[in-house]
Copies of this chain bind each other. A is one copy, B any other.
Amino acid sequence: MIVIPASQRFEGKIRDLILDSTSSFRELTLYGKRIFLTDSVPENQAEMVGMEAILMENGLYSRKMKAERTTVEVGGVTVGGTGLVIAAGPCAVESEDQIMEIAESVRHLGADMLRGGAFKPRTTPYSFQGLGKEGVKLLRRASDATGLPVVSEIMDISDYPIFADDVDMLQVGSRNSQNFSMLKFLGKTAKPVLLKNGMGNTVSEWLNSAEYLLSGGNGNVVMCYRGTRGFEDGTRFTMDIGVMPVLRDKTHLPVCADPSHPAGNRAYVESMALAAVVSGVDMLEIEVHNDPAHALSDAKQQLTVEEFAVLSKNARKLRDSLQK
């Protein structure tokens, strides 16, 4: 049971009541609020409700827990504020020249953040697995040169030390979206997390993955939708745009869309990105490559720099027009 005192003044009394009950509990601080997590329903819950504490079974992610929308700071960039945050970069870091060139390009074209994979979750073991630690170092160098904070996927918590200093935001990919061991670990850090949905998961299951992070005390979570599995063969994944208002309804967490993966085809990325912008996303994550035809992964869906220039301009313009 989640017990949230109505205000700081009542924390002590609520704690005393829980201590009086037969429930065990632990405490955490999330978004500046003191929260008690009990292992059962306290017998004296009525007294807590009487003090206007909120008691609920689940949902630190929910708007019942926190009505106002959350913002997440990533290396000086605010996700969830008034501006649209655009993270752009290659599917995978392939070389120093490649990442430096792309980073400079996307910065010039208005990106706020650099994305790039160093550890790559590839369907087969014989596909390019990323540069690993060296890739992270290159991302850092590109970040330092451009001032863009970096988001990159972590596939194994034993790699955490590599990411801790050099990566500003940790991406948890679709294939690890229900890797609860990893989520528990990251929940105990304060690192911003970009949490993708599992391709076979519902929104409700995905929010529960976020709950693993939040209940550890890490509130710096951005939900990133990358499409779900469906039967349509004209695209790579199904981008269910109804997910956006559902998320807006059910959580205070900021929302990102990754249109590159569901599109699976560069010709469709911009259209799907703009649909996400209209749906109110706080952030876009876009795959951009300086030479997509020769990319070592996701060759078909990475945008050219020129295509990204158009997308970036149109996304900003659209966001502005929505805020008038």
Binding site for B on A (CB under 8 A): 1-2, 37, 57-58, 121-126, 155-158, 175-176, 178-182, 184, 198-205, 208, 211-212, 215, 227-235, 237-246, 248-250, 262-263, 267-268, 271-272, 274-280, 317-318, 321-322
- CB contacts (< 8 Å) of A122 on chain B: these are 180
A173 CB to nearest chain B CB (Å): 9
Of B2, B121, B123, B229, the residue contacting A231 (CB under 8 A) is B229
Of B57, B234, B237, the residue contacting A246 (CB under 8 A) is B234
Of B182, B233, B240, the residue contacting A232 (CB under 8 A) is B240
Docked Cα-Cα span, A227 to B231, in Å, equals 12
| A242 and B246 within 8 A (CB) | no
- CB contacts (< 8 Å) of A262 on chain B: these are 242
Among residues of B, the one whose C-beta sits closest to the C-beta of A216 is B125
| B274 and A278 within 8 A (CB) | yes
| A232 and B239 within 8 A (CB) | no
| A234 and B228 within 8 A (CB) | no
- CB contacts (< 8 Å) of A181 on chain B: these are 155-156, 158
- CB contacts (< 8 Å) of A279 on chain B: these are 271-272, 274-275
| B231 and A202 within 8 A (CB) | yes
| A242 and B234 within 8 A (CB) | yes
Docked Cα-Cα span, A204 to B263, in Å, equals 16
Docked Cα-Cα span, A184 to B126, in Å, equals 12
